[in-house]
Structure 1
Amino acid sequence: MKGRVSTAVAILALASGLVACGADSAAPGGTTANWSSFGGDDKEQHYSALDQISADNVGKLGLAWSYDIDTYDSYTQPLAIDGVLYFAVGLSVVHALDAKTGKLLWQYDPDVASQPESKWRMRAGWGTRGIAYKDGLIYTATREGRLIAVDAKTGKPRWSVQTLDEAENGYITGPPWVAGDKVVVGFGGADYSPTRGYVTAYDAKTGKKAWRWFVVPGDPAKGFENKAMEAAAKTWTGEWWKFGGGGTVWHAMAYDAKYDRIYLGTGNGWPWNQKIRSPGGGDNLYLASIVAIDVKTGEYAWHYQVNPENSHDFNDAMDIELADIEIGGKMRSVLMHAPKNGFFYALDRETGKFISAGEFAKQNWAKRIDPVTGRPEINPEAQYPNGKPFMMYPFPNGAHGVQAMAFSPKTNLSYIPVMEGGRVFVDPANVKDWTYKPGMMVNTGLGAPPSDMVAPPAVSKLVAFDVPNNKIAWSVPQPGVFNGGIMATGGGLLFQGTNDGNFNAYSATDGRKLWSFPAQNGILSAPISYTVGGKQYVSVITGFRSSFPNVPNWDYRQQQRRVLTFAIGGTKALPKFELVDEPIQDDPAFTVDAAKAKVGGAIYNSSCIICHGAGMMAGGAAPDLRKSAVPLDAETFKAVVHDGALMARGMGAFEQLSDADLEGLRHYIRQRARETAPKAN
């Protein structure tokens, strides 16, 4: 296994004795000092009980230290264990910093770009959203499918395993999840090609495979792996297995020590349009569901399907948070979940029984959720029958995306970064003749919307949802559309970064903004809080990406990707920074061929749009191609796009593109550059 670790700083870590790996240490008052899981601890609530920083003194909060990150992507969340801050960015490069000072202790690079599988698995998705920790080991998953255990003291790899041995077109961007003595990992890819979702559990100490659980049934002729798959097959029609089925578990899970189960948030179907993958209808289990799996055996325990008959991009990759809450005068062990579809769900963790579902955002796909069965009454128009277009809310980004929500046991409120936007869903011209484009990107199974159906601009909110009473408690508007994950604290605060470049503290009781810091970048990841030497710190990683331009628009090349750490009395300052409006590039001698540009436009809108932006106006996820000199030179363009010359910076290799395809892209880029260039006065 290839990999690189900075040994000089690893020696410093050993000498300092800062990494005392073991049980969580405690701060004064008995509150937890560490942030040891994606959501803080096993409850995954994105809540810190620490209260040294409170509504009374948050005005004295200041920057304690910052650390500049040399990466192309930093949409990730750190962990803090016994005085060390750990995070992975870009191609899963793991960092360990002194959590009090920000000094680099060690860095481990798993050398993703050199792996043969990376050429095609880096075509989709971005970097990594997080890591996991257990008994002195940091676990990171790589884009091309490895799960690697790294020694938390030295940064040296202890074991590595390839997890995508049965998912040729899969890739990993989500964090692994620790479940007892196992570490569990899923993957993504069910928007792009025939893929059958699964999760795999490995022994946390050795990396030995313990079990694998498939989300959707495979080819009946080959038999079913278990009774759960046999039951699921009865809810599919046609030859679904030829489409893979989808259902990838690409982000959220949660381990419930009380019942020794791991809860999986499963993905959408492939393609989105059910008329293609399952033409006779059916619920299509276990798509868009919460599934409980016994950690010891890997056997199915229960499920709740959030979106049966899923014909959209609805999935359940959003947070799964656990709590004991009094509902209806009775204490309940509750699983909380606010997925893309706009409803907030509370389920009984022991049985999977539906408790409640209330709207937290605008939606029109369901008339209601049956209060007894928990089954949605689907709006027939939302299935876009007989080719009739439908303006659906929420849009595919979801009413709640993967930006973390938080739950405070002090307020019994869940805090959700909400988006409200619509999208037209319509069948392709001929559903029966639809075929996917191999090697490309999103294959939705949808048609082009009518030109006269355009969704109004999307908006965003910070919503506080009253879990016991199943209703919105309050909401406040927020800038733009995509804002950061949320952390709640015992000090009565909410911390969140926003896409306008600020890091903010709000009152957990009413959403009033109490404090703000100019972070010099948009923020999508969630903050964490911890103590070192009895002092409370708050850390967040800055970085922004979108498929759409924003205001301000955080240019990919200019972004100030950093770790920012705050404490009461902090006095540090960031260097001055100002975004520069870079000019659109052009070559007057380049003559656009409209026919070639049309070819390039079709390729761009299926393969490039997610990273490089709708209308070729980038939103920070990748360079703005209109402002890049690379497309101006045919050889350089081919080296980057076809051959993978920039794989180390996250750009995959599109080897399936012919010279004619590449030329078409160049013509389309020049066409859009000229169409969108500022007009001379």
Structure 2
Amino acid sequence: MIRASSCIAAGVFATTAVAQIADFRPVTDAILANPDPADWLMISRTFDQQRYSPLDQINKGNVGRLRMAWARGLPNGTQESTPIVYRGVMYLIAPGAAIQAVDATNGDLIWEYQREYPRTVTPAAARAKSLGIYEDMIYFAAPDGFLLALDAKTGKLRWETKVDNGGQTAGGLLVADGKVISNRTCEQSQRENCFIAAHDARTGKEVWRFYTTAAPGDPGGDTWAGMPLQERAAGPWGLPGSYDPKRKVLYWGVANPNPYTRLTRHGSADAVSLSAPANLYSNSTVALDVATGKLLWYYQELPGDDWDADHNQERVLVRTRINPDARHAKWISPAIVPGEERDVVVTVAEGGGMFVVERSSGRFLWARPFPYDDPNINMNHIDVKTGQTRVNPDKLFRKDGDKILGCYHNTRGLWSIAYHPGKNSLYVPFQDQCLTMTANSKAKTGWGPRAGVMRPGSDPNKYMNIGKIDLATGELRVLYSQPQASAGSALVTAGDLVFWGDQNRRLRAFDADDGKILWEAVVGGMIMNSTISYAVNGKQYVMVFTGEGQSVTAGPLGLTQKSMPRAVRGHNSIFVFALP
């Protein structure tokens, strides 16, 4: 079935982008694995999710001269996505779930695809995080549950496939091994929509489907305390995973189990184990064979979650020297040979905690509380010999009405982090925030009310931070702090710069070594995710979206700070900067 839609082709301008799109060069697997430094072909540029741009035309010495190159207004609606750029053309999800192709040098519209959605779907609330590109097609997970392929040159629909019955997807796409990999959104009693799926990039035919809650007979199928299969829910709805093209393996994060508390799910806090595994594959990293979707291994960072602490962020792939320092890395495997190099998977979780495991097997290497160690932390023990994680028993709801203070909450949300290979450091925007919750059996979620609060003893002026983590030792250095919140992604470049924007309309460039602010621009609205860098005809650009995501806050939830500027609502736009 082909649903009604419209595709608008703009007038033909004498621009490089129009000429290049007319002479479109198909994107191959080799190009995706080793993209041109000028291009940005997926949410974090490369399969390893490092968000590192090898461009260095803009550097520490000249970044202070950056000026706005162009801007373009966008429709009203939710804005949580990151665009892709290929050979001078920017492809983006506009609020309202329209797909646009624009000239990346000036913002001129080349084409727009607008789908006609049923009345049950609200396109203005669409939350898809990214597009995909392969051969001569652009891929989009639409908010009506369809996966779409558009002609990259014209925007016309090439194929569509119904993927699920859940409607909205808040995730992003990854195109790997000739397949479009998508992650779906699911809620309580919706296991049929809790999955990662692969579709043939040329035809749209489903190749495989991996359910992110274990069934009886699966590894971990007995970790749900006998809960009926259909009621088991834990979705991969967040940022897309990473891919190792040499191993042909996908690495994906899965969110918390649903309903959110053990009491609501099972009737007792002790119905499932305090230690991993519990409620698999919730709050886990899963490694999947890209050809078949077969589970190769899993590592559960937070077993039997009681606090809605999603672990569905990206997994960053790095080859690094392993030499964790016990002053910083609280949990270290005794099997580590200090100084050896390993291919690793790195997870920095929303609920706090940083985990480093071996890429080939999921074997535990080291972990640290993130951002800080605290007596209220929800996951407070790891068996260093096995890597088995354990939740803090003092932070579980034992009966209706119990109130707890747990750390952390939205420490890092669905904004992307970045890795600088030259410094072997991870750059992580994070919030120093905890959570108060009350168990409430009358609520569908299992709790309420709840509110984000400052960590006891923390400084409100250091609520939002940029941390630099040495991946060899685990040392965290806080490069920058402010009271204003942010949902902006980090970007690092070969110019030794970190670009990052906040909800107070500031886009800044920081020195990647010491965090010194080297440049700042005030844009029209909140900066959401999005920060990328690309080049056209030898000129480097830095780009951000402004707008409003569904989960943004003006500061710590439930906390009034009169000194904190109120977040600007709306103002959906593209802002692009370059040297004069």
Structure 1 residue 118 corresponds to structure 2 residue 121? yes
Amino acid at match of 1:186: N
Relative to its length, the structure with more strand (as a share) is 2
Amino acid at match of 1:444: T
Superposition CA RMSD, Å:
2.8
CA distance change for structure 1 residues 130 and 9 in 2, over 3 Å: closer, same or farther? farther
What do the CA deviations read for 1:266-297 (whole angstroms, capped 9, x no partner)?
11111011232234214111111110110111
CA distance change for structure 1 residues 13 and 183 in 2, over 3 Å: closer, same or farther? farther
The aligned runs of 1:555-574 (5 Å cut-off) are: 555-556=568-569, 559-569=570-580
CA distance change for structure 1 residues 154 and 146 in 2, over 3 Å: closer, same or farther? same
Relative to its length, the structure with more helix (as a share) is 1
Q: Look up the match of 1:495.
A: 499
Q: Look up the match of 2:187.
A: 190
Amino acid at match of 2:405: M
Q: Look up the match of 1:212.
A: 209
Gapped runs of 5+ residues in structure 2? 323-337, 556-563
Amino acid at match of 1:172: T
Structure 1 residue 335 corresponds to structure 2 residue 345? yes
CA distance change for structure 1 residues 13 and 274 in 2, over 3 Å: closer, same or farther? farther
Query: Residue 447 of structure 2: SS of its match in structure 1?
Result: coil
Query: Residue 439 of structure 2: SS of its match in structure 1?
Result: coil
2:17, 2:89 within 8 Å by CA — same for their partners in 1? Answer: no
Q: Distance in 2 between matches of 1:195 and 1:251?
A: 20
The aligned runs of 1:239-250 (5 Å cut-off) are: 239-250=227-238
2:39, 2:535 within 8 Å by CA — same for their partners in 1? Answer: yes
The aligned runs of 1:284-299 (5 Å cut-off) are: 284-299=279-294
2:189, 2:233 within 8 Å by CA — same for their partners in 1? Answer: no
Structure 1 residue 85 corresponds to structure 2 residue 90? yes
Q: Distance in 2 between matches of 1:297 and 1:372?
A: 31
Query: Residue 219 of structure 2: SS of its match in structure 1?
Result: helix
Once the 2 structures are TM-superposed, how far is the Cα of residue 31 of structure 1 from its aligned partner? 6.3
Once the 2 structures are TM-superposed, how far is the Cα of residue 480 of structure 1 from its aligned partner? 1.7
2:414, 2:487 within 8 Å by CA — same for their partners in 1? Answer: no
TM-score of the pair, normalised by structure 1? 0.73
Structure 1 residue 405 corresponds to structure 2 residue 417? yes
Q: Look up the match of 1:128.
A: 128
Q: Distance in 2 between matches of 1:161 and 1:242?
A: 24
Q: Distance in 1 between matches of 2:429 and 2:384?
A: 25
Amino acid at match of 1:162: K
Structure 1 residue 392 corresponds to structure 2 residue 392? no
2:97, 2:126 within 8 Å by CA — same for their partners in 1? Answer: no
What do the CA deviations read for 1:20-69 (whole angstroms, capped 9, x no partner)?
3335999xxx9611101111011211110111100111011111111111
CA distance change for structure 1 residues 192 and 565 in 2, over 3 Å: closer, same or farther? farther
CA distance change for structure 1 residues 10 and 2 in 2, over 3 Å: closer, same or farther? farther
Q: Look up the match of 1:301.
A: 296
Equivalent in 49, 62, 65 of residue 44 of structure 1: 49
Structure 1 residue 359 corresponds to structure 2 residue 369? yes
Q: Distance in 1 between matches of 2:566 and 2:576?
A: 24
Q: Distance in 2 between matches of 1:255 and 1:117?
A: 34
Q: Distance in 2 between matches of 1:386 and 1:15?
A: 61
Q: Distance in 1 between matches of 2:243 and 2:344?
A: 13
2:183, 2:197 within 8 Å by CA — same for their partners in 1? Answer: yes
Q: Look up the match of 2:447.
A: 446
Q: Look up the match of 1:262.
A: 250
2:411, 2:430 within 8 Å by CA — same for their partners in 1? Answer: yes
1:289, 1:315 within 8 Å by CA — same for their partners in 2? Answer: no
Q: Look up the match of 1:371.
A: 384
Determine what percentage of the aligned residue pairs are the same residue. 27
Q: Distance in 2 between matches of 1:189 and 1:511?
A: 39
CA distance change for structure 1 residues 14 and 48 in 2, over 3 Å: closer, same or farther? closer
Query: Residue 16 of structure 1: SS of its match in structure 2?
Result: helix
Once the 2 structures are TM-superposed, how far is the Cα of residue 195 of structure 1 from its aligned partner? 6.4
Q: Distance in 2 between matches of 1:195 and 1:90?
A: 28
Q: Distance in 1 between matches of 2:506 and 2:371?
A: 24
Once the 2 structures are TM-superposed, how far is the Cα of residue 537 of structure 1 from its aligned partner? 1.2
Q: Distance in 2 between matches of 1:519 and 1:555?
A: 11
Please tell me whether Structure 1 or Structure 2 has the larger radius of gyration of its CA atoms.
Answer: 1
2:17, 2:87 within 8 Å by CA — same for their partners in 1? Answer: no
Q: Look up the match of 1:320.
A: 315
Q: Look up the match of 1:7.
A: 9
Q: Look up the match of 2:80.
A: 75
Q: Distance in 1 between matches of 2:436 and 2:120?
A: 35
Q: Distance in 2 between matches of 1:532 and 1:277?
A: 52
Query: Residue 560 of structure 1: SS of its match in structure 2?
Result: coil
The aligned runs of 1:611-650 (5 Å cut-off) are: none
Q: Distance in 1 between matches of 2:25 and 2:99?
A: 17
1:143, 1:172 within 8 Å by CA — same for their partners in 2? Answer: yes
CA distance change for structure 1 residues 516 and 360 in 2, over 3 Å: closer, same or farther? same
Q: Look up the match of 2:20.
A: 18
Instruction: Choose 205-214 or 229-238, whichever is displaced more.
Output: 229-238
Query: Residue 477 of structure 1: SS of its match in structure 2?
Result: strand
Once the 2 structures are TM-superposed, how far is the Cα of residue 447 of structure 1 from its aligned partner? 4.4
The aligned runs of 1:476-491 (5 Å cut-off) are: 476-491=480-495
Query: Residue 258 of structure 1: SS of its match in structure 2?
Result: coil
Q: Distance in 2 between matches of 1:191 and 1:522?
A: 32
Q: Look up the match of 2:175.
A: 178
CA distance change for structure 1 residues 373 and 10 in 2, over 3 Å: closer, same or farther? farther
CA distance change for structure 1 residues 358 and 518 in 2, over 3 Å: closer, same or farther? same
TM-score of the pair, normalised by structure 2? 0.85
Once the 2 structures are TM-superposed, how far is the Cα of residue 381 of structure 1 from its aligned partner? 1.1
Amino acid at match of 1:207: G
2:182, 2:240 within 8 Å by CA — same for their partners in 1? Answer: no
1:138, 1:149 within 8 Å by CA — same for their partners in 2? Answer: yes
Equivalent in 374, 391, 396 of residue 383 of structure 1: 396
Instruction: Choose 241-250 or 481-490, whichever is displaced more.
Output: 241-250
The aligned runs of 1:434-583 (5 Å cut-off) are: 443-448=444-449, 459-545=463-549, 546=551, 548-549=553-554, 551-556=564-569, 559-569=570-580
Q: Look up the match of 1:593.
A: none
Q: Distance in 2 between matches of 1:131 and 1:408?
A: 24
Query: Residue 576 of structure 2: SS of its match in structure 1?
Result: strand
Amino acid at match of 2:200: D
CA distance change for structure 1 residues 242 and 373 in 2, over 3 Å: closer, same or farther? same
Q: Distance in 1 between matches of 2:454 and 2:478?
A: 32
Query: Residue 230 of structure 1: SS of its match in structure 2?
Result: coil
Amino acid at match of 1:274: R
What do the CA deviations read for 1:198-223 (whole angstroms, capped 9, x no partner)?
111100111111011111135x5xxx
